[in-house]
Structure 1
Amino acid sequence: MEDSLSRDARLVLDLALTLRRDGHGGIADDLTDPAGLTAWVRAHPEALPGGVDFTADEAALTAVRDLRAAVRALFARAVRPGEPSPADADRLLPVPEALHRLNTAAAGTPTVPVLHWADDAEPDVRHRAVQGGGDLAAALAHTAIAFLAGPDRRRLRACRAPRCARYFLERHPRQEWCEPSCGNRARVARRHERHRTSV
């Protein structure tokens, strides 16, 4: 199912996953400088129009990092009553601040209503960004809002494996880990803990 994600859902998950465990007990950040943001945007040309030619500056980097912090805080809220990603547990923004950041970023792009009406469906109004209006953080904020307000949000989970900081969309009801390697790591850690406490 995760392979059939909408382009917007994939983009907002990818934004959240630019902050991850580095495999050595620390956190790796793909957005530490403008070059990192430039590379990330250029890797998403289908989701971010103009991304192929995008070059980040410090202001864009700060805006996207602030937005990512808001998205991860709202992801943590979305996975309740489950625990947030271990990478976020001690540094989450308060939800009101996260909502404020997200909505403020989204306001950077003026939108217009567009009516869609397929032959076999009810009329549907969607909001489209005004051509040339807004910036990268605003476009990403719109994507995040669509994801958080949409049905895929209910499938969002934080990986429970040690040393993993990823969020993922659940493919089946018993899925606890983002990848099989995380499941293996979690089982090994549990076995090690049982052995340590029984000795």
Structure 2
Amino acid sequence: MSPMLALEFVSTIRARRTGVTDSLEDAEGLTSWILAHAGDLGVDPDVFTATPGMREEVVALRQAIRALFARAVSPGPASAADAARLPAFEPSLALVNATAAAVPVAPRLEWPPDGEPAARPVPAGPAEESARIRAALAAAAIDLLAGPRREQIRACPAPRCVLYFVKEHPRQEWCSVACGNRARAARHYRQHKTG
């Protein structure tokens, strides 16, 4: 499982010209997002459909992970999307750990006839689908936050951007080229407006 899955998960909150949008605002949005990541989450795309209850559980986990990301970028500012609404750090940490532990996993060796062997974590026993999905997301967040890339997690400082990103290059300041352009344009506008 890729720790970058956690980054994609917390990025389901985005900024648009009309304001902050949430890709997981309803069960259909959650279904679409999970189907786009079916392989990472061990979901059968032919039969999966999210429920409103599952959506509530997944969004609560996302907010807890965003709270941990806010702590990771500290003392810098957290994402502007929800910095004032994030749950406290200790309960967030407890929720992420409990969620990851709810579905123990074991390595499974997969060796396709025409490929290389690879290990993939799978549930060690039967588990309800929502618990499996949330455990995979929590585990991806733990892998990212406990790994060497934690030091590169940043909140994008561009105007209106609410994303977290992993700094890939020493000179990278924004999550994307578009945000960099928007930040430079805003700075240029401020300089010429006051000058």
- TM bracket (short chain): 0.7 to 0.9
Question: 2 CA distance for matches of 1:58 and 1:165?
Answer: 25
The equivalent residue for 1:169 is: 166
Deviation of 1:196 (Å): 2.3
SS where residue 74 of structure 2 aligns? Answer: coil
Aligned counterpart in structure 1 of residue 89 of structure 2, from 69, 79, 95 = 95
Question: 2 CA distance for matches of 1:109 and 1:83?
Answer: 33
Q: Does 1:27 align with 2:24?
A: no
The equivalent residue for 2:50 is: 56
- Contact 1:18–1:31 (Cα < 8 Å) also in 2: yes
The equivalent residue for 1:45 is: 38
Deviation of 1:16 (Å): 0.4
Deviation of 1:127 (Å): 7.7
Within a 5 Å distance, the mapping from 1:1-199 to structure 2 comes to 7-24=1-18, 26-52=19-45, 53-111=47-105, 129-133=123-127, 134-198=131-195
Query: More displaced, 38-47 or 48-57?
Result: 48-57
Backbone CA RMSD of aligned residues: 2.1
- Contact 2:4–2:144 (Cα < 8 Å) also in 1: no
Question: 1 CA distance for matches of 2:182 and 2:6?
Answer: 26
Q: Which amino acid aligns with 2:26?
A: D
TM-score (norm 1): 0.83
Matched pairs, number: 181
1:155-198 superposed Cα distances (whole Å, 9 cap, x missing partner):
11111100111111111122110111111100111111122223
Runs of 4+ in 1 over 4 A off after TM superposition: none
Question: 1 CA distance for matches of 2:164 and 2:2?
Answer: 15
Question: 2 CA distance for matches of 1:51 and 1:173?
Answer: 39
The equivalent residue for 1:120 is: none
Question: 1 CA distance for matches of 2:147 and 2:122?
Answer: 17
SS where residue 90 of structure 1 aligns? Answer: coil
Query: More displaced, 102-111 or 55-64?
Result: 102-111
Query: More displaced, 103-112 or 188-197?
Result: 103-112
- Contact 2:9–2:62 (Cα < 8 Å) also in 1: yes
TM-score (norm 2): 0.84
Question: 1 CA distance for matches of 2:179 and 2:143?
Answer: 28
- Contact 1:161–1:185 (Cα < 8 Å) also in 2: yes
